[in-house]
Structure 1
């Protein structure tokens, strides 16, 4: 039994469940949420699970004015055997603390955070969809709550976990997306907050995404903020390219998020003895590989989609059709393997999966 004491207040007005085939990402939320508060000099306190509800903050709360907030994205899966599984939750909580450090926010106790999550899932277990491709999306986040307009790190914070049942990311099966390479706007630079999961990183990308949407592209491919030539991320995902049999992905350079799916993909490829390299990758290299018939596949990786194949790239007016716009063999194999491990349908040789047992 855990020594962590969490006060649980059950929701007496439970919401009606949304059918799995009608679930939209991040629109439906479970009946409960977890909250813990932090006070400078005291530490974390008042661990509690309460009915899902609005948050009340002072208008001068630091989060509104100076953006001290970090978050994570993870999932819980309900398999055919009835066991609920988390995928590498320790990595999420470790990364959350890295983000906290960059934003001058207090670190959480990672073990306590995972235990709190497990208890929250137990309370709302009935919300986890069981249909193929579905899962329970989990959003742990921290906000600065001190009522203070001085430009300094806040003295009080709240750590909150909310959960949302989500349907299959690919309603009609995994399919490639069209990507617009961004040449005007910059997402992050080394030394900035690019390695942290913080709201400002995503807000700064919305303008470029609007342009991509208008031109019929699903995501933006970000280039480095200095030379505007080296590839960093695609939308909110890490990105991989298979060039002449070798898989390459941009190396972590201080402005690229250390994705947990990215890390898992690299480990899987090495396990399969597929050549995989982390290094600088320029758009010019991708162009040359395409023109020489050596650009075999490209795909993004992230929690929501797991694997998102790239079928088309547009850079400076040129169009590159990857694998004839079709999902590649390696992309499919990675998707099927990783989702199989997450769901408990395939053997987990890496110890990635954490089972939540009653």
Structure 2
């Protein structure tokens, strides 16, 4: 189906914040994209409008049954003024995977990318150029049918908003301390752990808050059945370098198929560094630490790209990794990936998509 995007430009542009005040997700651009879904009409009425509140009936199903999914990706301004997106096709493909699991109608991925490019072109001057900054992109779908019946919605909205963001690490990349969670469970195979949906994040907030009160940046989730196999770090995938080999949990239905995770695996293999996707138990990591073969650990995600892990806390015991400093491989992966994203290094794997 051919779509025509209606466009309404704002008559009152916002004042842009200084780059050193951006933080993460605190400011939003002048415009947003919206599209509706309704019964036989399917997805229709795509439009770019001034950024504004959403008006929903109090009975909208998103409030009561959590039928919503989202994505997160970034656009980068290069030194020569180009605007680049990092693997956006994979994000929209994953959005549809999440849609399928939450019983939400699929979107047209090719059109979604076209709409995103048009939205970014309109708000292009919001993209910061300072070191470490970018334009964070949040596509999401919400169920809007006003009904308290516990069933899939018949009405939805697909929305994209944009937010200029500062460096994830204001003072440079540095290792974080992680608490290994052994009381709460985030997801299990067969559930919604593989979908990027609000419920997954809500399930982790209590453990994350508890960990923060004890000085930990995030939690390392163990599987919900055996309570011993490593899954994710907070909202990130996780990697461990053990005796020269890089390990990451295999996708098993309860893990998010991270875009950065996949990119890291491709880079490692292009560098001929052994990388395995498999079950990894916390006991295995404990033994590797005790024997001195646990060399590095890091989380991966859109916001931070690479987040080195300097310490794991498991049952009150501290497992300090690489002396609590950023490992050589972690630093190289961070510098390479961010260099490609910002157009400073050659994109040999064909990941970047230019916004004209």
Corresponding residue of 1:88: 87
Which aligned pairs between 1:61-100 and structure 2 lie closer than 5 A?
A: 61-100=60-99
Tell me, in whole angstroms, the C-alpha distance in 1 between the residues paired with 2:29 and 2:223.
Answer: 39
What displacement does 1:3 show?
5.6
Corresponding residue of 2:124: 125
What displacement does 1:4 show?
3.8
Corresponding residue of 1:134: 133
1:203-236, Cα deviation, whole Å (9 max, x unpaired): 0100000111100000000000001000000000
Mapped contact 1:61–1:145 kept (Cα < 8 A):
yes
Corresponding residue of 2:221: 222
Mapped contact 1:299–1:308 kept (Cα < 8 A):
yes
For residue 111 of structure 1, give the secondary structure of its aligned residue in structure 2. Answer: helix
Tell me, in whole angstroms, the C-alpha distance in 1 between the residues paired with 2:244 and 2:23.
Answer: 37
Mapped contact 1:4–1:115 kept (Cα < 8 A):
no
Tell me, in whole angstroms, the C-alpha distance in 1 between the residues paired with 2:259 and 2:23.
Answer: 23
Tell me, in whole angstroms, the C-alpha distance in 2 between the residues paired with 1:209 and 1:92.
Answer: 25
Which aligned pairs between 1:23-38 and structure 2 lie closer than 5 A?
A: 23-38=22-37
What displacement does 1:5 show?
1.4
Tell me, in whole angstroms, the C-alpha distance in 2 between the residues paired with 1:241 and 1:154.
Answer: 41
1:290-333, Cα deviation, whole Å (9 max, x unpaired): 00000100000000000000001000111000000000000000
**Structure 2 stretches of 5 or more lacking a match?**
none
Corresponding residue of 1:46: 45
Corresponding residue of 1:259: 258
Tell me, in whole angstroms, the C-alpha distance in 1 between the residues paired with 2:311 and 2:17.
Answer: 34
For residue 204 of structure 1, give the secondary structure of its aligned residue in structure 2. Answer: helix
Tell me, in whole angstroms, the C-alpha distance in 2 between the residues paired with 1:134 and 1:3.
Answer: 35
Mapped contact 2:76–2:135 kept (Cα < 8 A):
yes
Tell me, in whole angstroms, the C-alpha distance in 1 between the residues paired with 2:93 and 2:246.
Answer: 27
1:8-57, Cα deviation, whole Å (9 max, x unpaired): 11111111111111112111000100000001111111110001000000
Corresponding residue of 1:354: 353
Mapped contact 1:261–1:301 kept (Cα < 8 A):
yes
Tell me, in whole angstroms, the C-alpha distance in 2 between the residues paired with 1:344 and 1:5.
Answer: 31
Corresponding residue of 2:204: 205
Tell me, in whole angstroms, the C-alpha distance in 2 between the residues paired with 1:244 and 1:4.
Answer: 53
Corresponding residue of 1:285: 284
For residue 40 of structure 2, give the secondary structure of its aligned residue in structure 1. Answer: coil
Tell me, in whole angstroms, the C-alpha distance in 1 between the residues paired with 2:80 and 2:5.
Answer: 28
Instruction: Give the alignment's Cα RMSD to 1 decimal.
Output: 0.9
Tell me, in whole angstroms, the C-alpha distance in 1 between the residues paired with 2:182 and 2:244.
Answer: 28
Corresponding residue of 1:342: 341
Is 2:294 the partner of 1:324?
A: no
Tell me, in whole angstroms, the C-alpha distance in 1 between the residues paired with 2:43 and 2:251.
Answer: 32
Tell me, in whole angstroms, the C-alpha distance in 2 between the residues paired with 1:72 and 1:12.
Answer: 29
- How high is the TM-score relative to the length of structure 2? 0.99
Corresponding residue of 1:244: 243
Is 2:114 the partner of 1:143?
A: no
Mapped contact 1:238–1:257 kept (Cα < 8 A):
yes
Tell me, in whole angstroms, the C-alpha distance in 1 between the residues paired with 2:345 and 2:173.
Answer: 19
1:250-291, Cα deviation, whole Å (9 max, x unpaired): 000110000000000000000000000000000000000000
Is 2:296 the partner of 1:297?
A: yes
Tell me, in whole angstroms, the C-alpha distance in 2 between the residues paired with 1:133 and 1:88.
Answer: 18
Tell me, in whole angstroms, the C-alpha distance in 1 between the residues paired with 2:130 and 2:152.
Answer: 44
What displacement does 1:160 show?
0.0
Mapped contact 2:23–2:167 kept (Cα < 8 A):
no
Tell me, in whole angstroms, the C-alpha distance in 2 between the residues paired with 1:142 and 1:286.
Answer: 38
Corresponding residue of 2:154: 155
